[in-house]
Structure 1
Amino acid sequence: MPLRDGRIDAGGFLDVAGARLEYRWIAPAAAGRPALVFLHEGLGCVALWKDFPDRVAAATGCGALVYSRAGYGRSSPVPVPRPLRYMHDEGLEVLPALLDQLDLRNVVLVGHSDGASIALIHAGNDRAGRLSGAVVMAPHVFCEDVSVASIARAANAYRDGDLRAKLQRLHGDNVDCAFWGWNRAWLDKDFRAWTIEEHLPGIRVPLLVIQGTGDEYGTPAQVEAIRAQTGGPVEVLMLDRCGHSPHRDQPEATLAAVMHFIAGRS
């Protein structure tokens, strides 16, 4: 069982919303600190975060939950094609069920790319009042031409290059499910109308938005939409010499910003 006497096991699998989800739990070093929940990118999983959650947890004293969504890593597979509202489903159904099951409160979500969008959807519908903030790195709130073009190039690299072999080391038997579930959704012609902007006004908790000036999957228009439409306070950090993954491209600057943000959430 993942939860024993109010304590979460260090890792294993959780049965949530009909799926078996791989997870890691980093226990808090100090009482009364927020619980950090890491939400990975569209091709991510527990392993792809590497040591970033450990570094954030060590620097803040917080506990940290890192998990692979269904179809990724060692979690249960999912049917492909995915529904075009798959991020809505994660933010509105799966994530609330996961937080309920582990009885996590005073939560700070830390999301990257698709995971950042899921964090925003959930934050805009946090009826249980669990959240005290969210860090969103390279978030998408609507579909842009640059996103579609980069994702189309990824499909070519997966079919003709070494991308599949690299991803298979992370996802194992889930590799095709993980890649095509993400890629085909974003390249579907109907996905051009995809947006999560309707959820932004419902966000009342503080946000930290981090984006690289060289992000190949999104423009600063994403950040400006969040700043203009969100119902709570928004801090923005734009990082030079940084692409789509601030925590990998600019790890020290990203860690410092996250530490400062979490310090205000106690």
Structure 2
Amino acid sequence: MIHKTGSELFEIKGKKLYAEWRFVYENRPVLVFLHDSLGCVELWRRFPFDLAQAVSCNVLIYDRLGYGKSEPMPTHHRPVKYLEYEADILNHVLNFFKIDQAILFGHSDGGSLALITASIYAKKIRAVIVEAAHIFVEDITLSGIYLIQEIYKNSNLAERLQKYHGNKAEMVFKSWTETWIRNDFRDWNIKHLLPSVSCPLLFIQGEKDEYGTLTQVDETVRNVNGKAEKYIIPNVGHTPHKEIPELVLKKSTTFINSLFDF
């Protein structure tokens, strides 16, 4: 039995994942938060619960496989279509928690995961908010990754990641950086999936994002089939919900409330 408020490890396809949730509003959608390549439940801070309260929705946050308190990845070597695999996992997560009205909020490759899921499992997704999502690999993406690899070598970043991922931290870092700079990953592209995204979409992007240009935003908004809008924030980088949480919270609240009869 799933309690209205809780946190625990649960099993999906033989793997243990960690989640926190609050299901307190009857007949309301569930906000499902999808973290980035170095993220986890804890790194979202209060933002998911603040947004859920602002729009009177339920909320689920989980650590993707290999991150936070979830089970480690079997290896940091990931296939090119690892996000498509994670969309299948997310579909099983939605089934486990009996969620059939999800509003996905994904950051960075969590945003890419949200778009893929909304394309393949459209019936369960009511709306999508993506923040700094990628639909293809850009030179700026690779440059940002090369830079953070140098930072990892010459700073306490590894130690900081261990605070959230424990002894999985190095694998978490390698699984992102080494996958995205591989030659065979250079052609990764999910643009062909976007026409199958028919739910409402909000794309949030910092104008000074270190890992992606505004082309990611424009191509996404142009190619989805549902109502789509973009929110470009000046002087903000890759993590708007941390850099200017009040603005992201306000815009996300307005977007969600404009779509549903609350």
TM range (shorter): over 0.9
Q: Which residue of 2 aligns with 1:53?
A: 48
Q: Which residue of 2 aligns with 1:27?
A: 23
Q: Which residue of 2 aligns with 1:122?
A: 117
Secondary structure of 1:15's counterpart equals strand
Residues 82-101 of structure 1: matches in 2 within 5 Å?
A: 82-91=78-87, 93-101=88-96
Distance 2:140 2:260 in 1: 34
Deviation per CA, 1:147-166: give whole Å up to 9, x if none.
00101111111122111111
TM-score, normalising length from structure 2?
0.96
Q: Report how far residue 227 of structure 1 moved.
A: 1.3
Distance 2:5 2:199 in 1: 28
Distance 1:109 1:76 in 2: 23
Deviation per CA, 1:41-72: give whole Å up to 9, x if none.
01000011011111111211111100000110
Distance 1:249 1:206 in 2: 25
Structure 2 counterpart of 1:71, one-letter code: G
Identity level (%): 36
Q: Which runs of 5+ in 2 are unaligned?
A: none
Q: Which residue of 1 aligns with 2:187?
A: 193
Q: 2:140–2:210: 8 Å Cα contact kept in structure 1?
A: yes
TM-score, normalising length from structure 1?
0.94
Deviation per CA, 1:190-238: give whole Å up to 9, x if none.
1110111111000000000000001010000000111111111101100
Distance 2:127 2:42 in 1: 24
Q: 2:4–2:22: 8 Å Cα contact kept in structure 1?
A: no
Q: Report how far residue 9 of structure 1 moved.
A: 4.9
- Which of 247, 251, 256 does residue 250 from structure 2 map onto? 256
Q: Which runs of 5+ in 1 are unaligned?
A: none
Residues 155-166 of structure 1: matches in 2 within 5 Å?
A: 155-166=149-160
Confirm or deny that 1:11 pairs with 2:10.
Answer: no
Q: Report how far residue 8 of structure 1 moved.
A: 4.8
Count of aligned residue pairs for this structure pair: 259
Secondary structure of 1:171's counterpart equals helix
RMSD: 1.2
Structure 1 counterpart of 2:233, one-letter code: L
Distance 1:82 1:9 in 2: 33
Q: Which residue of 2 aligns with 1:133?
A: 127
Deviation per CA, 1:136-181: give whole Å up to 9, x if none.
0001000000000101111111122111111111111110111111
Q: Report how far residue 135 of structure 1 moved.
A: 0.3
Stretches of 4+ aligned residues off by more than 3 angstroms: none
Confirm or deny that 1:207 pairs with 2:167.
Answer: no
Confirm or deny that 1:223 pairs with 2:198.
Answer: no
Q: 1:44–1:72: 8 Å Cα contact kept in structure 2?
A: yes
Secondary structure of 2:231's counterpart equals strand
Q: 1:21–1:76: 8 Å Cα contact kept in structure 2?
A: yes
Secondary structure of 2:186's counterpart equals helix
Q: 1:239–1:250: 8 Å Cα contact kept in structure 2?
A: no
Distance 2:13 2:213 in 1: 34
Q: 1:133–1:265: 8 Å Cα contact kept in structure 2?
A: no
Q: Which residue of 1 aligns with 2:171?
A: 177
Distance 2:4 2:17 in 1: 14
